[in-house]
């Protein structure tokens, strides 16, 4: 079907029609985009699923039509200005792999439009409606991924201002995308204390934002409230008791188990008092990563408390990671692991050396990578991805190839060489460390004979060490 874009019509027409049967409006936008259906509507616009006819693959895309509900010239102009600013923001922010890319921005038939990359998946609200409340592990993963995105957004001096389950999409390849920057605000130094337009969804809106004075940490509040809603399935309005002046979300868990450690993090995120809240994304990550590392079944001091002597062994690795020297850190990781296993001469770890690799050393290496990548890189991240694909101790070539594709180690169905690895925080999740998996020959990362079965052995060792 072809969706009419006329706001007063919106009639669905057969695929072969060029003009709307009902109002005569042209159905091909800018001679290129074919609207198929309505995806949603907000205060400033309506979104449509569409097809880009200009590209050979005819990919899906999203059309956002400027359609302000505001009345009066001043309000209309303000809304129009916000829509134009959204396009400018998306052009810059769309460089992040988990924010939809801006494909076009134009005026057509006296209406403003922008066209974005289509993310195939479901919003977290839809996931909640279809599958029930989220588990603690799902919330931890959600926090780590969205905090990484927010770190990028805030680094561009942008406050999203409308974080909620409907604006986070779980894609078909299980990555989270932050969408709808229509309410976002660019912060200039001289404007940090100025009162601005009150905008955002009331249930998830921080108190200071409700008064027209949003802060970067207002996004953290909204993210915390989003998590409380996903854990309970209850409206945030009902999760906060104004009489007691505190969140009462635990009263609505109905058997859903949430640890005290995660609960404290969520309550600090969602503190109504700004100065009692986390003051940056990195503060949250620093508290969250140790929680994410703890086993849900056995939290032992022996495994999870690094020894001083071992920690000092990794001072160079920590320095390189802290400086963002990802390639040097990757090579240092491989060097140290070979030294620990006494395999420098061989240049790789075989199955017996993996099976006996010290847990304390694995924990220290993994925690350093998690800490300085904000949870994006590390052996534990790779293990989770491997197991999510069905990987076990038994080697399976199809799973290993799927694992390489997921981590970005393969291109055009071939394994990349080590020099082609992306040593950047923008690389896919789990992309690093990579040198450990390199066969040190001409087969590429993960593609050589000595790599065969290594992930299955290594994943088992990570499980044994509760990493």
Ramachandran area for residue 390 (φ above 0: left; ψ -120 to 50: alpha; else beta): left
Q: For residues 459 and 392, give the distance between their C-alpha atoms in angstroms, rounded to a whole number.
A: 8
- Taking each helix axis from N to C terminus, what angle separates 260-269 and 281-293, rounded to the nearest 10 degrees? 170
Note if 420 is an active site residue: no
Sign of torsion, CA 12 18 24 25? positive
Number of other residues whose CB lies within 10 A of the CB of residue 54: 11
Residue 271: which of 227, 206, 214, 209 has the closest Cα?
206
Distance CA 412, CA 53 (A): 25
Backbone angles phi, psi at 248, to 5 degrees: -120, 30
Distance CA 41, CA 50 (A): 15
Q: Which of 308, 305, 336 is nearest to 321 (CA)?
A: 336
Catalytic residue among 15, 52, 129, 162: 162
Please give the full DSSP string across 253-320, using - where no structure is assigned: -TT----HHHHHHHHHHT-SSGGGS--SHHHHHHHHHHHHHS-SS---HHHHS--HHHHHTTHHHHHH
Distances (CA, A) of 158 to 93, 153, 187, 269, 326: 9, 6, 6, 19, 26
Q: Could you check whether the bond before residue 433 is cis, i.e. omega within 30 degrees of 0? A: yes
Angle at which helix 281-293 crosses helix 136-155, to 10 degrees, equals 150
CA–CA gap between residue 364 and residue 362 (Å, rounded): 6
Number of Cβ within 10 Å of residue 261's Cβ equals 15
Half-sphere exposure of 270 (CA within 13 A, CB side): 29
**Angle formed by the axes of helices 326-340 and 359-372, nearest 10°:** 170
The DSSP secondary-structure symbol of 228 reads H
Say how far apart CA 216 and CA 153 lie, in whole Å.
10
406 in Cβ contact with 386 (< 8 Å) = no
Task: Give the Cα separation of 184 and 195 in Å (integer).
Answer: 15
- The residues assigned a catalytic role are 162
């Amino acid at each position: 079907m072809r969706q009419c874009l006329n706001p007063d019509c919106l009639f669905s027409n057969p695929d072969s029609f060029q003009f709307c049967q009902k109002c005569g409006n042209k159905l091909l936008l800018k001679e290129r985009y074919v609207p198929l259906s309505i995806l949603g509507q907000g205060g400033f616009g309506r979104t449509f699923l569409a097809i880009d006819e200009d590209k050979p693959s005819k990919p899906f895309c999203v059309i956002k039509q400027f359609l302000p509900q505001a009345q009066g010239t001043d309000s209309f102009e303000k809304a129009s200005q916000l829509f134009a600013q959204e396009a400018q923001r998306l052009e810059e922010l769309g460089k992040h792999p988990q924010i939809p890319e801006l494909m076009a921005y134009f005026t057509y038939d006296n209406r403003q439009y922008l066209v974005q990359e289509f993310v195939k998946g479901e919003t977290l609200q839809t996931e909640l409606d279809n599958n029930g409340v989220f588990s603690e592990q799902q919330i931890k993963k959600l926090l780590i991924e969205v905090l990484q995105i927010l770190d990028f957004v805030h680094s561009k001096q942008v406050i999203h201002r409308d974080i909620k389950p409907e604006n986070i999409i779980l894609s078909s390849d299980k990555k989270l995308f932050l969408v709808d920057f229509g309410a976002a605000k660019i912060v200039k130094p001289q404007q940090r204390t100025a009162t601005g337009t009150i905008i955002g969804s009331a249930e998830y809106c921080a108190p200071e934002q409700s008064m027209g004075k949003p802060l970067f940490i207002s996004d953290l509040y909204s993210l915390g409230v989003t998590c409380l809603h996903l854990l309970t399935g209850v409206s945030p309005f009902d999760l906060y008791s104004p009489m007691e002046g505190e969140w009462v979300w635990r009263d609505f868990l109905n058997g859903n188990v949430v640890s005290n450690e995660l609960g404290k993090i969520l309550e600090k995120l969602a503190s109504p008092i700004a100065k009692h809240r986390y003051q940056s994304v990195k503060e949250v990550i620093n508290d969250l990563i140790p929680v994410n590392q703890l086993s849900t079944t056995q939290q032992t001091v022996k495994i999870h408390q690094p020894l001083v002597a071992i920690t000092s062994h990794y001072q160079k690795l920590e320095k390189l990671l802290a400086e963002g020297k990802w390639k040097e850190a990757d090579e240092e990781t491989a060097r140290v692991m070979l030294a620990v296993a006494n395999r420098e001469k061989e240049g790789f770890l075989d199955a017996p050396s993996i099976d006996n690799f010290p847990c304390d050393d694995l924990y220290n290496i993994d925690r350093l990578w998690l800490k300085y990548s904000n949870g994006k890189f590390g052996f534990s991240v790779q293990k989770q991805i491997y197991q999510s694909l069905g990987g076990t101790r038994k080697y399976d070539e199809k799973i290993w190839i799927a694992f390489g594709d997921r981590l970005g180690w393969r291109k055009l169905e071939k394994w990349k060489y080590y020099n082609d690895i992306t040593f950047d925080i923008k690389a896919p999740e789990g992309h690093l460390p990579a040198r450990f998996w390199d066969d040190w020959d001409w087969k590429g990362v993960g593609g050589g004979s000595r790599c065969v079965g290594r992930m299955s052995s290594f994943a088992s060792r990570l499980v044994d060490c509760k990493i």
